[in-house]
Amino acid sequence: MAASGEGKGPAAPRFNVRKVAVLGAGVMGAQIAAHLVNVKVPVVLFDLPAKEGPKNGIVTKAVEGLKKLKPSPLGVPEDAALIQPANYEEHLGLLADCDLVIEAIAERMDWKLDLYKKIAPHVASHAIVASNTSGLSITKLSEALPEAMKPRFCGIHFFNPPRYMYLVELIATPTTKPQILDDLETFVTSGLGKGVVRAKDTPNFIANRVGIAGMLGTMREVEKFGLTFDVVDDLTGKKLGRASSGTFRTADVVGLDTMAHVIKTLQDTLSPETDPFYGSFGTPEVLKTLLEQGNLGQKTRAGFYKKVGRDILRFDLARKDYVPGGEKADEVYGRMLKKPAGERLKLLRNATGAQGQFLWAILRNSFHYAAVHLATIAETARDVDQAMRWGFGMKQGPFELWQEAGWLQVAQWIQEDIAAGKTLSDAPLPEWVFKGPVAEAGGVHTAEGSFNPTTGKFEPRRVLPVYRRQLFPELLRGEAGPRFETAGTTVHEDRNLRIWTLDQEVLIVSLKTKMHTISPEVCEGLQQAIEIAEKDYQGLVVWSGDEPFSAGADLESTLPAFIAVGVTAIEDAEGFMQQTMLRLRYASVPVVSAIRGLALGGGCELGLYSAKRVAAMESYIGLVEVGVGLVPGAGGLTYIARRAAENAATSTDKDLLKFLTEGFTAAAMAKVGTSALESRKLGYLLDSDIVVPNKDELLYVALQQAKSLYDSGYRPPHKRMFPVAGRSAKATIQGQLVNLRDGGFASQHDFHIASLIANVVTGGDVDAGTLVTEEYLMTLERRAFCELVQHPKTQERILGMLSTGKPVRN
Ligand code: NAD
């Protein structure tokens, strides 16, 4: 259950986690340690002593492995060095300094208990000890603990990969002290940036229980309706509002051995008495066959699918071999899935084709399963829906969709299907589905809260101070709460942006354009926002309630003017964008950009010209114009030149070229930071900027920053001239570019663009050390941009990007 943060007092975490110990450097332990490093928490990673070689061998090998893993568990690979390696033979003493111990060793009760016995004398008397087990009973694990440790023990179930998966399930035992769970929830939410759901101590907890039962059910229905994997994936991916890899490709990515392991836990820990769907938990024939063949999915390059050259083959059970794949679902179902929920489910249920019936069947099964199990696995329906959103990448959880489609009507359909023997189990829907508050309210989520079948009441979110940091938490359908689209006081709104305030102190500007691209109208709106902020507010925060921060300049919006008027239209638009950036930078109140997701091209520049940036850990920032055959044209290159001068000014080395190289390379190669930390390394965030682990806390932190800058007597920077590296540096860069081109590493057009970039960042044809203004460099930028816009190869790249979304190499 997520929670709200009513009340007053500090919203800062009170449980001070100075250091964490992670026990077990396997798949999960090593990645959890990496994520702790990402969010600046010191961590010591333990494993068994190696039998040969240095005793820390197992851990150091695992830490090395982190650098190569994809997607990267680390914000920047070199931070792997910050993980302190340890083993149980030599370093148990290190546990004394840890406020939290996370156990993530192999899934064996006896091994875990042995380890707890070993560490108990060394763990600090206040420390929380939590197990990452996915299948074992937390209560059983706790029973063998020393009495003093029991109140501080609980489950902490991360999902793989832990850096990217938002869900963490926390599980209490009957002896866990409630304060401990609140403390841990606070740390996991704000410190690690995760979404916490509290689960009951039942096999596989909430997300895996519902998710894996759902996958097994889906496989049953696939057999029943005789569908192929590629068609099923086409139906059960994005179109259904689920992870885009669908059912079977997801299984390939997860690993079929891991899948088999989780299925086995379901089989071993449940029974027909504890789970009436037990009959559908048998390992599917196809999975058995693939496992026997050693085809474990992506890691062995073959699973349900196999890539051969450019072709994707799919496994065919009858032939026990791979056959050509790529078959798509019938288009009619794609259209049905776009209809409003009520109509959608009705159409699917009445469909005569196998694909439609299949879709209804898997949705119905998911509703049926969730309703039958709600009371045993979770406190409220909210926990189930959040777990499925955050742990399985679903856009909506089962209860939300059911409710949206019309609660009683869908319940009726499920009941009819149960009676007709079409369901996976004949377990009846619980009484609360048809009678009492849920039936009256038309669903489980209401303005009052979400339904708890044990108390028979709708219960509000848990109140913890940390949730005051989430001004606009993710809401489930049917839930009431503040919405960023309408909250606060609107000062100005049009179709491009909204200028508004929550507290009458700081002004907020939120972009509304597609992918939050920046058109001349958006620039006008930004300038207007600055004007209003300067007059009546302490500062301006650039924040949008949904991702991305901004995908950059709106190329399409300038196209008609370009065709009608020619290149001067582009030059005007570029000039206007540049002026907007300077207006931001020299505003008399601080402008704070709150970045999450993509901040590309113009979006990156918007951040760069702000007084300060507050960025979610998952921010991907870069100047990517080269990809479409252009150069950064809204001050990005000017920034690179200025930064080089500023850095050189604080160094004894006055060779500007050295300070330019990093920025030049990033722009010329269109590098994008794969995290906020890497974006900082590329120079797109500064050391003084703030990286926020939880995306939902971004606005809160940005507002605080704006106020504190204002309170500290903010004044914009001086408008001063700065030295550029000049023609000699340009010649040096150019020499290297020639080598790249002649060596076949860059095309002639890439060479041309990079030369233009070199010309701008070095200040062009001037002596080294010449003092220039930002406006001067922006003129060079604009010229380069306009020259390229007219270049046929650039036009080819732009058109390619607009039509296919992929970069054209030419
Ligand atoms: P793993 O097999 O990759 O790693 C297990 C680690 O435990 C190894 O480093 C091993 O050296 C160590 N180990 C083995 N026997 C030990 C012993 N007797 N004493 C101490 N250490 C020992 O496993 P994993 O996938 O990282 O899983 C670890 C835990 O996390 C398990 O409880 C698992 O259920 C849970 N989990 C796994 C996933 C997943 O997707 N892999 C997801 C969530 C939770």
- Whole-number Å distance, alpha carbon 104 to ligand 1 midpoint, is 5
Q: From the CA of 106, how far away is ligand 1's center (Å)?
A: 3
Look up residue 434 and give its two tokens: 């048809």
pLDDT, average across residues 355-371: 98
* Distance of alpha carbon 602 from alpha carbon 633, whole angstroms: 8
For residue 767, what are its two tokens?
């002596």
Q: How far is CA 749 from the centre of its chain?
A: 35
Q: Which of 2-11, 333-342, 347-356, 650-659 is predicted with the least confidence, judged by mean pLDDT?
A: 2-11
Query: Can you tell me the mean pLDDT for 324-341?
Result: 94
pLDDT at 3 over 60: no
Q: Which residue has the higher pLDDT, 5 or 105?
A: 105
Q: Which of 345, 339, 317, 344 is nearest to 222 (CA)?
A: 317
Cα–Cα dist 701/592, whole Å? 10
Question: Ligand 1 pocket, 419 CB below 6 A?
Answer: no
pLDDT recorded at residue 12? 55
Task: Please determine, for residue 9, whether its predicted confidence score (pLDDT) is greater than 70.
Answer: no
Residue 808 has pLDDT above 90, yes or no: no
* Pocket of ligand 1 contains residue 807 by CB under 6 Å: no
Please report which confidence band the pLDDT of residue 10 belongs to, taking 50, 70 and 90 as the band edges.
Answer: low
* 485 — pLDDT class (breaks 50, 70, 90): very high
Q: What does the pLDDT read at residue 725? A: 97
- Mean pLDDT of the region 302-328: 93
Q: Whose CA is nearest to atom 29 of ligand 1?
A: 104
Query: Residue 714 in contact with residue 487, Cβ under 8 Å?
Result: no
Q: What is the mean pLDDT of residues 183-196?
A: 97
CA 113 to ligand 1 center in whole angstroms = 14
Q: Are 776 and 533 in contact (CB under 8 A)?
A: no
Taking the alpha carbons of 757, 761, 767, 770 in that order, is the dihedral positive or negative? positive
Q: Report the candidate in 141, 359, 118 with the shortest Cα–Cα distance to residue 235.
A: 359
**pLDDT tens per residue across span 643-658:** 999 999 999 988 999 9
* Average pLDDT estimate for 116-131: 97
Measured in Å, residue 171 CA sits from the centre of ligand 1 at: 18
Q: Which residue has the higher pLDDT, 806 or 628?
A: 628
**pLDDT tens sequence across 435-451:** 999 999 999 999 999 99
**Whether the Cβ atoms of residue 667 and residue 785 lie closer than 8 Å to each other:** no
Looking at residue 518, the DSSP 8-state letter turns out to be B
Q: How far apart are CA 104 and CA 141, in angstroms?
A: 13
Ligand 1 center–CA 28 separation, angstroms: 7
Q: Residue 452, Cβ neighbours under 10 Å: how many?
A: 21
Q: What is the mean pLDDT of residues 381-388?
A: 98
Q: How far is 219 from 250, CA to CA, in rounded Å?
A: 13
Give the H/E segment covering residue 600. strand 591-600
Measured CA to CA in angstroms, residue 801 lies from 74, 605, 629, 788 at distances of 30, 20, 10, 16
User: What percent of the chain clears pLDDT 70, i.e. is strictly above it?
Assistant: 98
* Confidence label for 113 from pLDDT (cuts 50, 70 and 90): very high
Q: Ligand 1: which atom is nearest the Cα of residue 88?
A: 20
Give alpha helix (H) positions in 473-629: 520-536, 555-565, 567-585, 602-608
Q: Which residue, by CA, sits nearest to atom 7 of ligand 1?
A: 105
Query: How confident is the model over 100-110, as pLDDT tens digits?
Result: 999 999 999 99
Report whether pLDDT(6) > 70.
no
**25: Cβ below 6 Å to ligand 1?**
yes
Check if 357 has its Cβ closer than 6 Å to any atom of ligand 1.
no
Q: Is 111 in the pocket of ligand 1 (CB under 6 A)?
A: yes
| Contact between 493 and 529 (Cβ < 8 Å) | no
- In the prediction, which pLDDT does 687 show? 96
What is the mean predicted confidence (pLDDT) over 17-29?
97
Q: Whose CA is nearest to atom 21 of ligand 1?
A: 105
Residue 115 in contact with ligand 1 by CB distance below 6 A: yes
* C-beta 106 within 6 A of ligand 1: yes
Buried b (16+ CB within 10 A) or exposed e, 127-160: bbbbbbbbbbbbbebbeebeeebbbbbbbbbbbb
Beta carbon of 133 within 6 Å of any ligand 1 atom: yes
* Residues of the chain above pLDDT 90, percent: 90
Dist CA 312 CA 252 (whole Å): 13
**Among 255-269, 337-351, 684-698, which is the least confidently predicted range?**
255-269
Give the C-alpha separation, 355 to 611, whole Å: 54
156 lines ligand 1 (CB under 6 A): no
Cα 135 to middle of ligand 1, angstroms: 12
- Report the atom number in ligand 1 closest to the C-alpha of 103: 29
Q: Mind listing the pLDDT tens digit for each residue in 744-786?
A: 989 999 999 999 999 999 999 999 999 999 999 999 999 999 9
pLDDT in tens, 390-420: 999 999 999 999 999 999 999 999 999 999 9
Give the closest residue (by CA) to ligand 1 atom 32. 133
- In order of 311, 370, 444, 694, the CA distances from 385 in angstroms are 37, 9, 11, 20
Tell me, using a 6 A CB cutoff, whether residue 31 lines ligand 1: no
φ, ψ of residue 178 in degrees (nearest 5): -55, -40
88-92 long-range Cβ contacts below 8 angstroms, 24+ apart:
88/46, 88/47, 88/48, 88/49, 88/115, 88/118, 88/119, 89/49, 89/55, 90/49, 90/55, 91/44, 91/46, 92/118, 92/119, 92/122
Residues in the chain: 810
Q: If we measure between CA atoms, which residue out of 317, 319, 351 comes closest to residue 333?
A: 351
Q: Which residue has the tokens 């996991």?
A: 188
By CB neighbour count within 10 A (0-12 exposed, 13-18 middle, 19+ buried), where does 430 fall?
A: middle
- How far apart CA 158 and CA 208 sit, in angstroms, is 11
Instruction: Please check the confidence at residue 666 and state whether its pLDDT lies above 70.
Output: yes
Cα 408 off chain centre by: 35
Instruction: Answer yes or no: is the C-beta of 175 below 6 A from any ligand 1 atom.
Output: no
pLDDT score, position 1: 42
Q: Is 702 in the pocket of ligand 1 (CB under 6 A)?
A: no
The pLDDT of residue 15: 85
User: Predicted confidence band at 203 (pLDDT cuts at 50, 70, 90)?
Assistant: very high
* Cα angle 206, 236, 32; round to 5: 45
Which amino acid, residue 714? Y
